[in-house]
């Protein structure tokens, strides 16, 4: 048998490498900006396109899908060709994949600041972009499987199993979570409502971390760590156990994002159990990575790329230990909704994803340009600046989260909340937020140094666009004997199907009872659908990203019911497409914002909201909330109101034909009532006069006030019946 000559496509690797660095700088710059907004509102820059609620999703999407996404593709395209001893299946598909993905990122960068969002975390992009993501992801899978099928190496190395599991599971997550009913070209409503939407969203959100930020990087670790250390992985056997345990267990853990919420207890407990079990495979993977350096730790001293690897894998170990700890209910009670979670996420993102990406870039670029790195000193500088950045990010955020979480729960000696004013707890952590922004500047500086170093490296070499290699064709002889896993390692399609079955089991078990067993979502007869004006106000709340800072989920703690009112019930959210529970309390919970009955805690009249939106500091001194003056000057778009009600009706919200036919009339009637109330108020008159605003009943602020006054309002109708429920 003769060896065959072929070449690797390095140009596509280069393209993804450039995109990784460019989007990394963009995404992190936005990160520094939003970090600064959280101690100084001036950094919202006074316009709607750069306010926190709109560009926080831009930051998360840019760093997850643009920076990390391109890094995954760079690492996969480089390693896949070499592990399979073949060129990518199709250069055309590679190009479509690359440019399609970049166009999706550009679409996100345009739509998110415009307030075009579904509001679902890490899945904010609207339905046409969702479809584009699906198509491009299929192109990626097609190209990957085409390459696998024409390979010259019979056995699939462990890294490729992780790539396959990533492909199929991300596809599943994206499609299931993106079921939405379009209202117009760039507006849709989630197919699911309330507690079911929350369950699907956090099944997606958790597993986006698992199968976009973890499994592909584990695959990359299994390739690049041995290459950098110049020795095989510590235990191939452990990698097998690691793979199957991890993909089976991860998919179950999503409900730990919804502890103490209206999600049924059994689902919460399930999430906790599987989160704890997850420590084992996670640490198995971490130890397998680190122990690869056994007997070669001296290399770490001299090779900054290995330093990145070691700190990155250690960060993975820390984050995957902390995650299960945070899923313990007693810990979660303090940490949830605070900066602690933000710190946890960033240890994983900055350490694990960021540092592994940098190690790959420093390995790949000199290889494909057939040269050596321009400056090892700059690599070392990047490493130390980046490490310092991670530490300065995490430590103040841990302190901030713990401090604020405890302050929310603190009672004084006479049994009253020690800090009844939410802002008192905010003021205590502003210095920590400043440290966070500074750490972001440090980390970003390191990335810029890396970019300069890589450009200089590329300039001193020349791109080997088609790298020659040779290998024997794959033997067609069937191997007999051997064990079960040896069999599946040679069969990519079966491996894919088996992986899919494994991940579907966890999702199906969590979803089926929630969707099929009616008792999981209680019915509260007093809860009524949103009026047309309230629905429009809700869409403004979504557009401005208010759910990025305000929760609508009062947990059953005394500290929360005393502060906000009665705890939240699943039956309150049955008309919420999408759910808006939020995951972070930078500001107070708004779940009972419209409750005016006995023991009302946080209700504010219309003129207070008007003044607060125009300039939050006038009603709430020291607040870090952005101002929303455009809500007072912009007209409410009523052209889609009827279609919105029709869409909601399709989704099961009990609007009748009369409601839909009279939608605009009813909207204007309710708006006029709020307007008449507002125009009598001196504070409103003063703002309108001083700023020469043409204020009337058709302004967006009126719809938003209507929505805020709807929150938790209906629950007051039957306080006794509600109180009986567990």
DSSP tally for the chain: helices H, then strands E: 32, 4
- 3-state SS of 243-304? HHHHHHHHCCCHHHHHCCCCCCHHHHHHHHHHHHHCHHHHHHHHHHHHHCCCCCCHHHHHCH
List the x/- string, 547-566, binding to another protein by CB under 8 A.
--------------------
Q: Is 376 in the site for another protein (CB under 8 A)?
A: yes
Q: Is 522 in the site for another protein (CB under 8 A)?
A: no
Stretch of 90-98, 149-157, 381-389, 543-551 lying at the interface with another protein (CB under 8 A): 149-157
Q: Which helix (H) or strand (E) holds 5?
A: strand 4-9
Task: Indicate the burial class of 96 (C-beta count within 10 angstroms; 0-12, 13-18, 19 or more).
Answer: middle
> Judged by CB under 8 A, which of 106, 110, 149, 512 binds another protein?
512
Closest distance of CB 539 from another protein, Å: 34
User: Which CB atom, from 322 or from 489, has the smaller least distance to another protein?
Assistant: 489
List the x/- string, 274-303, binding to another protein by CB under 8 A.
-----------------------------x
User: Which CB atom, from 179 or from 515, has the smaller least distance to another protein?
Assistant: 515
CA distance 47 to 630: 8
> Judged by CB under 8 A, which of 35, 139, 270, 542 binds another protein?
270
Q: Is 329 in the site for another protein (CB under 8 A)?
A: no
Q: What is the DSSP code (8-state) at residue 617?
A: H
User: Which CB atom, from 249 or from 447, has the smaller least distance to another protein?
Assistant: 249
Q: Is 486 in the site for another protein (CB under 8 A)?
A: yes
User: Which CB atom, from 363 or from 614, has the smaller least distance to another protein?
Assistant: 363
Closest distance of CB 129 from another protein, Å: 34
**Contacts of the segment 135-140: beta carbons below 8 A, 24+ positions apart:** 135/100, 136/96, 136/97, 136/100, 136/101, 136/104, 137/167, 137/170, 137/171, 137/174, 138/171, 139/93, 139/96, 139/97, 139/100, 140/73, 140/97, 140/167
Closest distance of CB 230 from another protein, Å: 4
> Judged by CB under 8 A, which of 146, 513, 556, 605 binds another protein?
513
Cβ atoms 513, 543 nearer than 8 A:
no
Q: What is the DSSP string of 644-674?
A: HHHHHHHTT----HHHHHTHHHHHHHHHHHH
Task: Indicate the burial class of 570 (C-beta count within 10 angstroms; 0-12, 13-18, 19 or more).
Answer: buried
Closest distance of CB 259 from another protein, Å: 14
SS3 9: strand
Closest distance of CB 22 from another protein, Å: 22
User: Which CB atom, from 142 or from 244, has the smaller least distance to another protein?
Assistant: 244
List the x/- string, 332-371, binding to another protein by CB under 8 A.
------------------------------xx--xx----
How many residues touch another protein under the rule CB under 8 A: the total is 63
User: Which CB atom, from 238 or from 600, has the smaller least distance to another protein?
Assistant: 238
What is the footprint of another protein within residues 81-100 (CB under 8 A)? 82-83, 85
List the x/- string, 157-186, binding to another protein by CB under 8 A.
xxx---------------------------
Q: Is 490 in the site for another protein (CB under 8 A)?
A: no
Q: Is 569 in the site for another protein (CB under 8 A)?
A: no
Q: Is 264 in the site for another protein (CB under 8 A)?
A: yes
Stretch of 111-119, 180-188, 462-470, 704-712 lying at the interface with another protein (CB under 8 A): 462-470
> Judged by CB under 8 A, which of 45, 176, 241, 406 binds another protein?
241
SS3 699: strand
What is the footprint of another protein within residues 198-237 (CB under 8 A)? 223, 226-230, 232-233, 235-237
Q: What is the DSSP string of 442-490?
A: HHHHHHHHHHHHHHHHHHHS---SEEEEEEPPPP-SPP-S--HHHHHHT
CB neighbour list of residue 545: distance below 8 Å, 6 or more residues apart: 51, 52, 53, 54, 56, 57, 115, 117, 119
CA distance 636 to 674: 14
Q: Which helix (H) or strand (E) holds 188?
A: strand 187-190
Going by C-alpha positions, the residue among 138, 147, 154, 11 that lies closest to residue 90 is 147
Q: Is 471 in the site for another protein (CB under 8 A)?
A: yes
Q: Is 497 in the site for another protein (CB under 8 A)?
A: no
What is the footprint of another protein within residues 622-681 (CB under 8 A)? none
CB neighbour list of residue 726: distance below 8 Å, 6 or more residues apart: none
User: Which CB atom, from 485 or from 617, has the smaller least distance to another protein?
Assistant: 485
Place of tokens 């998360």: 60
Helical H runs in 544-662?
Answer: 558-564, 606-614, 616-619, 630-633, 641-650, 657-661
Closest distance of CB 488 from another protein, Å: 10
436: which 2 tokens? 């966070």
Q: How many CB atoms within 10 Å of residue 587?
A: 20
Cβ atoms 599, 14 nearer than 8 A:
no
Closest distance of CB 525 from another protein, Å: 22
Handedness of CA 77, 80, 85, 88 (dihedral sign): negative
Q: Is 377 in the site for another protein (CB under 8 A)?
A: no
Closest distance of CB 372 from another protein, Å: 6
Residue 430: phi and psi, rounded to 5, are -65, -35
Q: Is 269 in the site for another protein (CB under 8 A)?
A: yes
Closest distance of CB 365 from another protein, Å: 10
User: Which CB atom, from 99 or from 472, has the smaller least distance to another protein?
Assistant: 472
Q: Is 249 in the site for another protein (CB under 8 A)?
A: yes
> Judged by CB under 8 A, which of 345, 448, 502, 651 binds another protein?
502
Closest distance of CB 305 from another protein, Å: 7
Stretch of 171-179, 468-476, 559-567, 650-658 lying at the interface with another protein (CB under 8 A): 468-476
User: Which CB atom, from 174 or from 376, has the smaller least distance to another protein?
Assistant: 376
Place of tokens 């890294």: 159
User: Which CB atom, from 241 or from 395, has the smaller least distance to another protein?
Assistant: 241
Cβ atoms 245, 281 nearer than 8 A:
yes
Closest distance of CB 693 from another protein, Å: 54
Closest distance of CB 245 from another protein, Å: 6
Q: How many CB atoms within 10 Å of residue 596?
A: 12
Q: Is 478 in the site for another protein (CB under 8 A)?
A: no
Cβ atoms 513, 520 nearer than 8 A:
yes
Q: What is the DSSP code (8-state) at residue 64?
A: I
Q: How many CB atoms within 10 Å of residue 136?
A: 19
Q: Is 305 in the site for another protein (CB under 8 A)?
A: yes
Q: Is 248 in the site for another protein (CB under 8 A)?
A: yes
- Binding residues for another protein, rule: CB under 8 A, are 3, 79, 82-83, 85, 153, 155, 157-159, 223, 226-230, 232-233, 235-238, 240-241, 244-245, 248-249, 264-266, 269-270, 303, 305, 362-363, 366-367, 372-373, 376, 467-471, 482-486, 489, 502, 505-506, 508-509, 512-513, 517, 519-520
């Amino acid at each position: 048998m003769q060896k065959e000559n072929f070449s690797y496509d390095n140009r596509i690797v280069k393209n993804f490498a450039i995109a990784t660095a460019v989007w990394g700088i963009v995404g992190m710059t936005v990160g520094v900006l939003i970090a600064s907004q959280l101690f100084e509102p001036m950094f919202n820059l006074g316009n709607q396109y750069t306010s926190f609620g709109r560009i926080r999703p831009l930051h998360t999407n840019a760093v997850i899908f643009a920076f990390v996404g391109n890094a995954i593709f760079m690492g996969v395209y480089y390693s896949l060709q070499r592990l399979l001893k073949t060129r990518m299946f199709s250069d055309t598909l590679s190009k479509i994949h690359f440019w399609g993905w970049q166009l999706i990122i550009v679409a996100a960068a345009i739509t998110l600041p415009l307030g075009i969002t579904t509001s679902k975390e890490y899945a904010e992009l609207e339905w046409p972009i969702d479809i584009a993501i699906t198509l491009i992801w299929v192109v990626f899978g097609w190209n990957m499987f085409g390459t696998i099928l024409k390979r010259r190496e019979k056995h699939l190395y462990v890294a490729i199993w992780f790539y396959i599991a990533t492909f199929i599971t991300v596809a599943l997550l994206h499609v299931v979570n993106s079921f939405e009913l379009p209202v117009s070209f760039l507006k849709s409503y989630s197919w699911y409502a309330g507690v079911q939407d929350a369950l699907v969203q956090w099944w997606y959100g958790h597993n986006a971390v698992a199968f976009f930020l973890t499994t592909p990087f584990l695959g990359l670790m299994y390739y690049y760590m041995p290459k950098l250390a110049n020795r095989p992985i510590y235990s191939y056997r452990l990698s097998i156990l690691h793979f199957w345990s991890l993909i089976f267990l991860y998919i179950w853990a999503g409900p730990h994002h919804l502890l103490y919420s209206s999600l049924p207890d059994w689902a919460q407990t399930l999430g906790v159990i599987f989160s704890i079990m997850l420590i084992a495979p996670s640490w198995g993977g971490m130890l397998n990575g680190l122990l690869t350096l056994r007997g070669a730790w001296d290399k770490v001293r001299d090779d900054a790329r290995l330093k990145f690897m070691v700190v990155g894998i250690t960060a993975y170990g820390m984050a995957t230990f902390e995650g299960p700890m945070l899923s313990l209910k007693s810990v979660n009670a303090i940490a949830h909704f605070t900066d602690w979670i933000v710190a946890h996420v960033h240890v994983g993102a900055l350490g694990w994803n960021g540092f592994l990406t940098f190690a790959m870039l420093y390995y790949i670029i000199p290889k494909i340009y057939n040269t050596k790195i321009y400056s090892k000193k700059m690599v070392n500088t990047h490493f130390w600046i980046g490490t310092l950045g991670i530490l300065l990010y995490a430590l103040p955020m841990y302190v901030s989260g713990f401090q604020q979480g405890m302050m929310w729960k603190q009672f004084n000696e006479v049994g009253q909340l020690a800090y009844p004013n939410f802002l008192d707890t905010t003021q205590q952590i502003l210095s920590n937020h400043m440290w966070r922004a500074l750490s972001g500047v440090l980390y970003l500086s390191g990335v810029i140094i890396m970019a300069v170093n890589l450009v200089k490296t590329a300039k001193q070499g020349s791109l080997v666009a088609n790298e020659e290699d040779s290998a024997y064709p794959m033997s067609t002889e069937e191997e007999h004997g051997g064990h079960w896993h040896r069999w599946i390692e040679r069969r990519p399609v079966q491996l894919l199907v088996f992986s899919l079955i494994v991940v579907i089991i966890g999702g199906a078990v969590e979803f089926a009872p929630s969707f099929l067993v009616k008792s999981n979502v209680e019915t509260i007869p007093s809860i009524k659908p949103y009026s047309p004006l309230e629905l429009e106000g809700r869409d403004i709340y979504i557009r401005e990203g208010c759910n990025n800072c305000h929760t609508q989920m009062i947990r059953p703690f005394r500290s929360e019911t005393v502060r906000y009112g009665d705890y939240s019930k699943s039956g309150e959210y049955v008309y919420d497409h999408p759910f808006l529970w939020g995951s972070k309390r930078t500001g107070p919970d708004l779940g009972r914002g419209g409750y005016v009955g006995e023991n009302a805690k946080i209700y504010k009249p219309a003129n207070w909201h008007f003044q607060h939106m125009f300039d939050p500091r006038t009603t709430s001194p020291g607040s870090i909330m952005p101002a929303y003056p455009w809500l007072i000057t912009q007209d409410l778009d009523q052209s889609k109101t009827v279609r919105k009600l029709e869409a909601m009706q399709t989704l099961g919200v009990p609007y009748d034909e009369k409601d839909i036919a009279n939608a605009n009339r009813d909207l204007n009637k309710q708006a006029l009532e709020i307007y008449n109330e507002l125009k009598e108020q001196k504070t409103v008159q003063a703002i309108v006069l001083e700023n020469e605003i043409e204020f009337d009943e058709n302004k967006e602020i009126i719809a938003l006030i209507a929505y805020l006054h709807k929150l938790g309002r209906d629950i007051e109708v039957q306080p006794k019946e509600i109180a009986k429920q567990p």
